[in-house]
Amino acid sequence: MEHIIGLYLNPPEYLFCFDEYTGIQAIGRLAPDLPVGTGNPATREFEYRRNGTTDLIAFLRPQTGDVFLRCTKNHNSQTLISVFSQHVKLQPEDAPLHYICDNYNTHLGEGFCKAIAKLSGITYTSLKTAKERKLWLSSDDKRITIHFVPFHSSWLNMIEIWFSLLADKCLKNGWFESVEALVRALIDFTETWNKYFAHPFTWTYRGEGLRAKVVRRFMRLLQIESPQMEIGFLTKQLMLMRNIAQNY
């Protein structure tokens, strides 16, 4: 957490946040919405039709608020590599690039590592485990550095803030008769955002009180004594408590 917050507070010139937004549905309504009238709120019929889905991959530059977006048929490794490479090629050739992302498996794959090496102009030696690949991707001895947020910490990735704006302003009240119409709306929204609304995203939270909150939540869970608490979850929580006790 401290590492990611440090990047936001003292950002390198070319810092980007990226992630996938998957399974966006093209929802078609079977009847038009009824507009607001005197004494009446807007109303919407409950029936709708699913007209397919699209995925998207987006990159936010916090320094300016500009967004690079591509709608895709899937979010597999080959698709990520293709879109990521497109984004890198738009940046100055000699500029160090920094990307913040989560720990999704395609972000740690062998193919992604090979693409990063190629885009950085270096040789990549195959690594067997995800942990080894993560360490290599995070190393700063190459042009492109990948910074991973902690597990279960998507709130540390600022692209999620923009995704919430996208969902609220473009998707929530939209209805789309086809996937093509949905894709067009997503592209139009992004172009409008970049032209009229893009602004720097300023991070202010420094982590105050988070560790105490985590401990309090864990204590409440223990007090409940719920049979739903599985050993895998309990194990991770105990590891987290040990980390807090040893380091803080």
Domain count, the chain: 2
pLDDT of residue 42: 87
* Residue range 25-81, pLDDT digits in tens: 999 988 888 889 999 898 888 888 999 999 999 999 999 999 999 999 999 999 999
Q: Are residues 142 and 69 in the same domain?
A: yes
Q: Are residues 193 and 215 in the same domain?
A: no
On whether residue 115 sits in a domain, the answer given is yes
114 vs 142: CA distance, rounded Å: 13
* Residue range 149-188, pLDDT digits in tens: 998 899 999 999 999 999 999 999 889 999 999 999 999 9
Which run of H or E residues covers position 86? helix 77-89
Comparing 58 with 233, which gets the higher pLDDT? 58
Q: Are residues 119 and 215 in the same domain?
A: no
Q: Are residues 132 and 237 in the same domain?
A: no
Q: Are residues 64 and 96 in the same domain?
A: yes
Q: Are residues 12 and 77 in the same domain?
A: yes
pLDDT for 133 beyond 90: yes
Q: pTM of this prediction? A: 0.91
Q: Structural domain of residue 20, as residue ranges?
A: 2-197
On whether residue 205 sits in a domain, the answer given is no
Q: Are residues 96 and 12 in the same domain?
A: yes
pLDDT of residue 227: 83
Q: Are residues 87 and 130 in the same domain?
A: yes
pLDDT for 85 beyond 80: yes
Q: Are residues 175 and 221 in the same domain?
A: no
On whether residue 188 sits in a domain, the answer given is yes
Q: Are residues 193 and 216 in the same domain?
A: no
Do 62 and 15 meet the contact criterion of CB atoms below 8 Å apart?
Answer: yes
Q: Are residues 93 and 166 in the same domain?
A: yes
Q: What value does the mean pLDDT take over residues 101-107?
A: 96
On whether residue 59 sits in a domain, the answer given is yes
On whether residue 203 sits in a domain, the answer given is no
Could you write out the DSSP letters of every residue in 208-228? TTHHHHHHHHHHHHHHHT-TT
Do 136 and 127 meet the contact criterion of CB atoms below 8 Å apart?
Answer: yes
On whether residue 233 sits in a domain, the answer given is yes
Among candidate residues 61, 69, 87, the one with its CA nearest the CA of residue 20: 69
What share of the chain in percent tops pLDDT 90?
82
pLDDT for 225 beyond 80: no
Q: Are residues 134 and 238 in the same domain?
A: no
